[in-house]
Chain A
C-alpha cells in the first residue's frame, strides 16, 4: 500500500531531517511510530499524507509512483488517507458536525448522504450533544475527538494519527484506540505516531518504527516493549 525507498527530506535549503527512509505498510497492518521530540515523526507523516515532497528517493502510494503521478490525481490519493493532525487543525468558523463531514463534502456528497453516519460517529466519540458547537467552545480533548472523527468519517484505507491521545483522559484514550483497532480489523492500515507507552501496550501493532536523528529503525513490537521496560 505504501512503499518508501531511500527517501530523504529537507525543508528549503536546510539540512536533511530524514535520511534513507525505507519501509512498507501493507493493507490491514497496524504500525506505531515513535522517537524523541524533533526526530522527524511529523515530517515523515507529512510525506505519507502527501503534504511534502521528498528531496530524494521514491515513494509509492496505493500502487502509484508519486513522482510520476500528475498533480491533479493526488487529491484522489489523499481521499484514501485519514489524518489526525497533532494540533487538530479544525476550521474555527464551522460547527463540529461541519468539521467532521468536511471530507465527505469535499468528495462531492450531499448532506443527506452522510448526516446519519456523522451523527452516529460523533455519538460514538462522546460528542453527540455537541453537533452545533464551534471549536472555540470545545476543550482540548473534545477538539481531538472531532479531529479523529473527521479522519475516519470517509473510511480511509490508510489512517495516520499524530499523538492522537495526547489531550484526552485514559477512558476516552481507550475508546479512541478501540476505534482505531476496529477500523484496522475492517482492513484499514493504521500508523500512529506516539510517545505513549500505554498505547503501545494496547494496540495490535506488529512492528514499531523508531525515528532518531533522521534515520528509521524497525523493531518487532514484542522486542521493543521488552527493551523499553528494561530501560
Chain B
C-alpha cells in the first residue's frame, strides 16, 4: 500500500525485494559498527588530548649545584608564580612508586634507580607561555626540565586522525557497495516486472509516475533493511559494552574504549536507515528513468 492507501504498482513481496532487504540490513549493520568505531575514536582522541593539554610536568634530575629539597622548593615557587598556572604539586615518593609499579614492579625501586622528582602542573584554560616557563626553569633551577606532552599529543592526534580516516573510508565503501547493489536490484526488479512497466507505460503513464512508484517501493525497502541492521548493530554494541564491563570480561577489557556512550553516536546511528532509504530511493529513480528513456 502507498501513502494514498492504494496498492503500489510494484508487488511488495518480490524475490528481488527479499534479497535486497537482507543485503541492506547487512550493509546497515556494518555501517553502524563503522560509525560507532569512527565516533568513538574521535571522542577518545579529543578526551586524551584535552586531558593532556591542560597539564604539564616538571622533571627534576639530581644536581650537584642544589639540594633536592631546595630544587623542589625553588621549582614550585617559580611555577606557581608563572601566569596561567592554576596549581602545582610535587609528587610524593609513594605517588612515584605507584606510577612505576606496573612497569618496574614493587620493592625498593626508587632507592635503586635515579628516578627524577616530578611536579604536576595544572594550567588554567587559555594560552600559557610554556616556552618562557621552560627557559625560566632551565635558568633558575639546576636539573629542571619542562615536559609539555607535545610529542605524545602529536602522536595521539596523528593516530586518531588516521584511524578516523580509515573508518570514514570503510563507511564510504559501504555506501558505494550499497549503491551498486541497489542498482543491480533495481535492474533485476525492472526485468522481473517488465510487464508491469510496459503496461503502465502503454496506458499513458509518464516516466516520472513510474519512477515515483519504483522509488517509493525501494525507499521503504531501504528503510526497513536499515532498521533491521540498526537493531542488530545496537544489540551488538550494547551487548559488547555489557560483556566488557561484566565480571566475566577478560583482564584488561575495562581499559578498552567503550563504544556506546554518547547521544551523538545514537543520533548518527538513527540516521543510517534514513540514509539507506535515500540511497535506495535515488538509485532506483535514476535507474528506472534511464531504462524508461530507452522505450518508445
On A, residues with C-beta under 8 Å from B are 49-53, 71-72, 74-76, 78-79, 81, 83, 85, 89, 91-95, 98, 102-103, 105-107, 110-111, 150
12 more A-B residue pairs beyond the given contacts A74-B296, A76-B204, with a C-beta to C-beta distance below 8 A: A49-B202, A50-B202, A51-B202, A51-B296, A53-B296, A75-B204, A89-B199, A91-B199, A95-B7, A105-B6, A106-B200, A106-B204
Please report the C-alpha to C-alpha distance between residue A37 and residue B296 in the assembled complex, in whole angstroms: 25
Total inter-chain residue pairs, C-beta < 8 Å? 57
- Given A75-B205, A89-B195, A111-B6, A102:B200 Cβ within 8 A: yes
Q: Please measure, in the bound complex, the distance between the C-alpha atom of A53 and the C-alpha atom of B200, giving whole angstroms.
A: 18
- Please measure, in the bound complex, the distance between the C-alpha atom of A180 and the C-alpha atom of B11, giving whole angstroms: 32
Indicate if the CB atoms of A72 and B206 lie closer than 8 Å.
yes
Chain A residues lying within 8 Å of B202, measured Cβ to Cβ, are 49-51, 78, 83
Interface residues of B (CB under 8 A from A): 4, 6-7, 9, 11-12, 195-196, 198-200, 202-207, 209, 293, 296
**CA distance in complex: A107, B205 (Å):** 7
In contact, A52 and B205 (Cβ under 8 angstroms): no
Q: Which 3 pairs of residues, A with B, have the shortest CB-CB distance?
A: A79-B204, A78-B204, A93-B11
Taking a contact as CB atoms under 8 Å apart, the answer to whether A106 and B209 are in contact is yes
Residues of A within 8 A of B7 (CB): 93-95, 98
Give A83 to B7 CA distance when docked, in angstroms.
23
Minimal beta-carbon separation of B200 from chain A (angstroms): 7
Provide the residues of chain B in CB contact with A50, threshold 8 Å.
202, 296
By a CB distance below 8 angstroms, the chain A residues around B9 are 91, 94
What are 14 A-B contacts with C-beta separation under 8 Å? Answer: A50-B202, A53-B296, A74-B296, A75-B204, A78-B204, A81-B204, A83-B202, A89-B198, A91-B199, A95-B7, A102-B199, A102-B200, A103-B203, A106-B203
With the chains together, A106 CA to B196 CA distance in Å?
Answer: 13
For residue B196, which residues in chain A have a CB less than 8 angstroms away from its CB?
A: 91
Let me know if A78 and B203 touch, CB within 8 A: yes
Given the complex of chains A and B, what is the CA–CA distance between A76 and B207 in angstroms? 12
Residue of A nearest to B200 (CB): A106
Chain B residue with the shortest CB-CB distance to A83: B202
Q: Which residues of B contact A53 (CB under 8 A)?
A: 296
Give Cα distance in the complex from A83 to B202, angstroms.
9
Chain B contacts of A83 at CB under 8 A?
202-203
In the bound complex, how far is the Cα of B129 from the Cα of A84, in angstroms? 88
Q: Could you say which of B12, B198, B205, B296 contacts A106, with CB atoms under 8 Å apart?
A: B205
With A52-B296, A91-B9 as known contacts, state yes or no: A103 contacts B199, CB within 8 Å.
Answer: no
Contacts of A102 in B (CB 8 A): 199-200, 203
In the assembled complex, the CB of A95 is this many whole angstroms from the nearest CB of chain B, namely 8
Question: Which residues of chain B have C-beta atoms less than 8 A from A52's C-beta?
Answer: 296
Q: Is there an interface contact between B206 and A75, defined as CB atoms closer than 8 Å? A: yes
In the complex, how many angstroms separate the beta carbon of A131 from the nearest chain B beta carbon?
Answer: 13
**Complex contacts, B198 vs chain A, CB 8 Å:** 51, 89
